[in-house]
């Protein structure tokens, strides 16, 4: 039998085979071959022993959260509690680009944000980069009808900090899921973890992946990779005079030219500089 892993608990995998869930462990030999089945994997189960015998090749794989074969990432950011972070959103977007996954942004907690100019600023910034932004309130249900279509026939991974409302969003889309939620902690300045595992929930011909939240994300990439995968850079990167341009001090840089002409958002470039400072070089560079 062949199916998709939709959950993992205590070493036992839940596998969806044509709408029927089977629970199976993986072959011990996988460990010696450095093969670790993960949520999202297509696998083959032995019809008699109900053990996973084969893991099929992946289209993509995210280390954090650990999930495979997704075709869409929805970056969940709250407008309040915790405050919206451009830097974190650009980290997530770069992460999606590194893995060749399409990404969109959903802003939650509209009911707690009175500053509509901030929302317009965020939308305009990402619109200039061709990135769609949606605004919702899980409490008042505003904007939910607009985003439901995003999930149809897609394997969607939700990603974001603890407390931004990922599980609440899933419950608002379909109350039958009853995902556990918790409030933002003002004392800690962050959300409390409620989702402990990655799980795929069936929805409209696809799946929605609820994932554990985290307050930081190490991209584990070099400056050269960041210069290539950062949002809005891909189409400009190959036109720079230097093939290894980092878009910072180099001359004849198409990214900086676009910035000077007002064709690239300043706030996006400022975040790029901060992320570049946090990264290391892949290849040693010599100063002349």
**% the chain with pLDDT above 90:** 64
Please give the average per-residue pLDDT across 228-233, as a whole number: 94
153 torsion bin: left (phi>0), alpha (psi -120 to 50), beta (else):
left
**Angstrom distance (rounded) from CA 265 to CA 73:** 22
pLDDT at 84: 94
pLDDT at 10: 84
Q: State pLDDT tens for residues 58-95.
A: 999 998 889 999 999 999 999 998 999 999 999 999 99
Q: What number of other Cβ atoms are within 10 A of residue 276's Cβ?
A: 16
pLDDT at 194: 45
Mean pLDDT of the chain: 87
CATH of segment(s) 62-210: 3.40.50.300
pLDDT at 11: 85
Domain 223-277 has CATH 1.10.40.50: yes
Selection from 55, 65, 70, 96 nearest residue 208 by Cα: 70
Please classify residue 180 by burial: count the beta carbons closer than 10 Å to its beta carbon, then call 0-12 exposed, 13-18 middle and 19+ buried.
Answer: exposed
pLDDT at 185: 34
Q: Residues near 39 by Cβ (< 8 Å), separated by ≥ 6?
A: 5, 6, 7, 8, 66, 67, 68, 198, 199, 200, 209
Residue 151 to residues 28, 40, 51, 205, 273, Cα–Cα distance (Å): 35, 16, 31, 9, 33
- Among 26-40, 73-87, 91-105, 130-144, the minimum mean pLDDT is found in 26-40
**Angstrom distance (rounded) from CA 67 to CA 74:** 14
Half-sphere exposure of 214 (CA within 13 A, CB side): 14
- Among 25-29, 137-141, 196-200, the minimum mean pLDDT is found in 196-200
pLDDT at 274 over 60: yes
pLDDT at 234: 85
User: Where along the chain do the CATH 1.10.40.50 domains lie?
Assistant: 223-277
pLDDT at 196: 60
Please give the average per-residue pLDDT across 278-287, as a whole number: 73
**Angstrom distance (rounded) from CA 162 to CA 184:** 8
Fold of the CATH domain 2-57: OB fold (Dihydrolipoamide Acetyltransferase, E2P) (2.40.50)
Q: What number of other Cβ atoms are within 10 A of residue 254's Cβ?
A: 19
Please give the average per-residue pLDDT across 205-217, as a whole number: 77
Q: Residues near 104 by Cβ (< 8 Å), separated by ≥ 6?
A: 72, 73, 74, 75, 131, 132, 133, 134, 150
pLDDT at 232: 93
User: Where along the chain do the CATH 2.40.50.140 domains lie?
Assistant: 2-57
Please give the average per-residue pLDDT across 227-245, as a whole number: 88
pLDDT at 187: 35
Could you tell me whether strands 72-78 and 102-108 are parallel, antiparallel, or unpaired per DSSP bridges?
Answer: parallel
Q: Residues near 148 by Cβ (< 8 Å), separated by ≥ 6?
A: 173, 204
**Angstrom distance (rounded) from CA 6 to CA 13:** 8
User: Where along the chain do the CATH 3.40.50.300 domains lie?
Assistant: 62-210
**Angstrom distance (rounded) from CA 142 to CA 20:** 34
Three-class secondary structure of residue 133 per DSSP: strand
**Angstrom distance (rounded) from CA 253 to CA 63:** 32
pLDDT at 182: 47
Three-class secondary structure of residue 147 per DSSP: helix
């Amino acid at each position: 039998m062949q199916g998709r892993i939709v959950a993992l608990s205590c070493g036992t995998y839940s596998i969806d085979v044509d709408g029927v869930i089977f629970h199976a462990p993986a072959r011990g030999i996988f460990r010696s071959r450095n093969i670790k089945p993960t949520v999202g994997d297509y696998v083959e189960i032995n019809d008699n022993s109900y053990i996973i015998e084969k893991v099929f090749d992946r289209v993509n794989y995210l280390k954090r959260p650990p999930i495979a074969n997704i075709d869409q990432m929805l970056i969940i950011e709250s407008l309040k509690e915790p405050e919206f972070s451009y830097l974190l959103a650009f980290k997530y977007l770069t992460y999606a680009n590194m893995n060749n996954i399409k990404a969109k942004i959903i802003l939650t907690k509209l009911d707690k944000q009175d500053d509509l100019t901030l929302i317009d600023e965020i939308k305009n910034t990402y619109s200039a980069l061709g990135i769609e932004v949606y605004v919702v309130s899980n409490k008042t249900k505003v904007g939910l009808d607009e985003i439901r279509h995003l999930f149809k026939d897609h394997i969607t991974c939700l990603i974001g900090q603890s407390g931004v409302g990922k599980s609440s969003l899933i419950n608002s889309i379909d109350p039958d899921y009853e995902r556990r939620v918790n409030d933002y902690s003002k004392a800690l300045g962050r959300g409390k973890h409620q989702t402990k595992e990655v799980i795929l929930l069936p929805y409209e011909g696809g799946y929605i992946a609820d994932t554990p939240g985290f307050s930081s994300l190490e991209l584990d990439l070099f400056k050269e990779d960041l210069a290539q995968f950062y949002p809005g850079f891909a189409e400009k990167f190959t036109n720079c005079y230097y093939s290894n341009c980092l878009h910072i001090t180099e001359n004849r840089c198409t990214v900086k030219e676009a910035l000077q002409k007002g064709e690239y958002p300043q706030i996006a470039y400022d975040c790029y500089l901060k992320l570049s400072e946090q990264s290391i070089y892949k290849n040693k560079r010599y100063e002349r």
